[in-house]
């Protein structure tokens, strides 16, 4: 009985911190883990890179092909993110079609190169449907701790602003926060 309780507690913990559709960590976990990462980065003096990823024209996918295909696009992106991150990185579904990747110890040039590779991989990702293959692109914004803020809210705002700058510049691209000025 003790073993059953432990399994149930484990399952409950996963349900609390995981997005049920994609299996990625959710926003609740993002806030929990980010504070720990910032504390560790302060102690050990290294940067933390944050990528905000948004599928371009996601509403059009839902409107054209239906929400099931939209969900499949989100799941496909989540799988791609899981394959793309290092051990120690954290991929989260932030909400809707927005995703966050926290990358401790990654400097700007490397973060930008990883984001550009991810943009390319999303563009080449296909979701097969009865009506044919559906493709998508993504806009990615990057911000860095401590350069662009000292806490989660500041870093998230900077990465969100950078992501919107990528959309404004034509979508399917990467924008680093300081590059948008």
Residues noted as catalytic: 97
Integer Cα distance of 58 and 67 in angstroms? 10
Residue 100 and residue 140: Cα distance in Å, rounded?
9
d(CA 55, CA 74): 9
> Which alpha helices (DSSP H) does the chain contain, by range?
2-17, 27-44, 58-65, 67-84, 108-123, 152-168
Which uninterrupted H or E stretch holds 92? strand 90-95
Neighbours of 29 (CB within 10 A): 17
Cα dihedral 159, 92, 83, 128 sign: negative
């Amino acid at each position: 009985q003790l073993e059953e309780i432990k399994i149930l507690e484990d399952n409950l913990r996963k349900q609390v911190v995981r997005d049920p559709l994609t299996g990625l960590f959710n926003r609740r976990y993002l806030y929990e883990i980010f504070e720990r990462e910032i504390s560790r980065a302060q102690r050990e003096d290294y940067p933390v890179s944050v990528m905000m990823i948004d599928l371009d024209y996601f509403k059009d996918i839902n409107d054209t092909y239906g929400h099931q295909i939209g969900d499949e696009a989100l799941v496909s992106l989540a799988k791609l993110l899981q394959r793309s991150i290092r051990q120690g990185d954290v991929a989260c579904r932030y909400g809707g079609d927005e995703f966050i990747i926290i990358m401790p110890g990654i400097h700007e040039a490397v973060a930008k190169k990883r984001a550009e590779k991810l943009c390319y991989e999303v563009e080449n990702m296909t979701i097969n449907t009865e009506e044919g293959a559906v493709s998508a692109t993504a806009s990615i914004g990057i911000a860095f701790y401590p350069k662009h803020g000292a806490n989660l809210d500041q870093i998230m705002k900077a990465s969100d602003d950078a992501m919107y700058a990528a959309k404004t510049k034509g979508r399917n691209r990467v924008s680093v926060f300081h590059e948008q000025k």
